[in-house]
Amino acid sequence: MGVNINCPFCSDPPDKHFNGGFNYISPRYSCWRCGGHSWYDALEKILNIPFNQVSKFIQDYKYIAPEKETKRTAQAQYLDLPGYHLNEQEKQYLINRGFNVDYIQDKFHIRGGGIAGDWAYRIILPIYYKNVLVSWTGRSILSREEIKRLGIPRYKNLSIEQSVIAPKDIFFNLDNSTKDYVILVEGAFDVLKLNSDCICSLGTSVTPEQELFLKERYKKIFICFDNEYEAQEKARHLGMNLSSIGMSVEVVNICEPFTKIEDGKTVPKNDPGELTYNEVSIIKKELDIL
C-alpha cells in the first residue's frame, strides 16, 4: 500500500508520470525509473526541510491504524554526544587492540563513557550523516568474562526513539566513505581499523531499506564480515540480494589469511578489528582500492 508522486530524483528528464512511490506501511521509497532511495533523502527533497526534521514531520502527520502501528521510529531532531575525553583505561584498551588512539579520536570523534552512567566502560562511536550527529553506538571495554558475568551486550546502540535516524536505518562512517565503492563490515571497531571507504551495518542483518540505500550511493560493494561460518553465510545471502538489485558485489573473507596466537595456538584472526594496519594495507592493495 502506498502513494505515488513525480520522482524528485529524476531530473533529466523530469518525472511527469508519478514514477516515485512511498510505501506508507513501511518506510520505503522507490522509483520505477531510477530505483530505490533513502526515504529520509526523499522527504528532505520533496518537503524542502532539513533531514533531521523528517522524523518530527512523520510523527506529526502520520496516520497508521493502531493495530498496525508496530514499527518504532526515530523522534529526535538534535543530539548532543555524551561522554568525555578518553581516560587512561580507555586509551590503553584501544592501544591493546592495536589502534592509533590520537588518529581515531580525530578521525571518528570517539569519546569515552567514563566510569558511571548509561555508557560507562564503553567507547562511544558517533554516527554522522551529512555532518549531522544522528545516533551512536557504544563498545564495551570490559573483558569477555566480565561482559558475560554482568549480562551486558558488547555493543549497545542509542535507542531508535532517541535517535535522529535509527541506527539500523543508516550505516556508521558514511561521511568518510564517498567513493563509488565501499567495504561493508559488521562492527564499528572493524571500521576504525579499515578507515575511510568502509562502513558497518552494526551486525550481520541488513534491512531492505539499507540495501536500497547502498544501491543508491555505491556502484560496488565488498562485503567483509567476520571469519565465522554464520557470518560468511549472511554475507553471501546479502551479496545475492544486492546483486539482484544491480550492484557489483564481492564477498571476501579478509581475515582468514592472517593469524594470531590464542591459548598458545596459532589460529586465524576472527574479525577485521583484529587486523594490523599493515595487514589492512595488504588487503586494500589486493582489493585494488588503495
Name residue 156's beta-bridge partners.
138
61 φ, ψ to 5°? -120, -5
CA angle 241, 242, 245 (to 5 degrees): 95
Contact 57, 239 (CB under 8 A): no
Q: Strand 155-157 to strand 132-140: parallel, antiparallel, or no bridges (unpaired)?
A: antiparallel
Q: Which residue positions in the chain have pLDDT lower than 50?
A: 1, 65-68
- Identify whether residues 222 and 133 lie together within a single domain: no
| pLDDT value of residue 143 | 94
Q: Are residues 120 and 186 in the same domain?
A: no
58 lies in a domain? yes
Q: The dihedral of CA 174, 179, 180, 186: what is its sign?
A: negative
Residue 238 · residue 209 · CB < 8 Å: no
pLDDT at 269: 94
pLDDT at 15: 75
**Same-domain status, 180 and 252:** yes
Residue 191 CB contacts under 8 Å (≥ 6 apart), including other chains: 108, 172, 173, 185, 198, 199, 200
H or E stretch at 181: strand 181-185
Looking at the structure, do residues 270 and 178 belong to the same domain, yes or no? yes
Q: Are 245 and 224 in contact (CB under 8 A)?
A: no
pLDDT of residue 56: 66
- For residues 93 and 44, membership in a common domain is answered with no
Residues 160 and 96 in one domain: yes
272 and 181, same domain (yes or no): yes
Number of domains in the chain: 3
Same domain, residue pair 111 and 31: no
Q: Do 41 and 136 lie in a common domain?
A: no
Q: Tell me 17's DSSP state.
A: S
Instruction: Give pLDDT tens digits for 54-98.
Output: 766 666 655 554 444 556 788 888 999 999 999 999 999 999 999
Q: Which residues contact 253 (CB under 8 A, 6 or more apart)?
A: 224, 225, 227, 232
Q: Considering the domain boundaries, does residue 78 fall inside one?
A: no
248 and 159 part of one domain? no
Q: Which of 216, 188, 214 is nearest to 200 (CA)?
A: 188
The runs of H, that is alpha helices, within 35-131 are 39-47, 54-61, 88-96, 101-108
Domain residues for the domain of 269 are 171-286
At residue 65, the pLDDT reads: 46
At 233, which CATH number?
3.40.1360.10
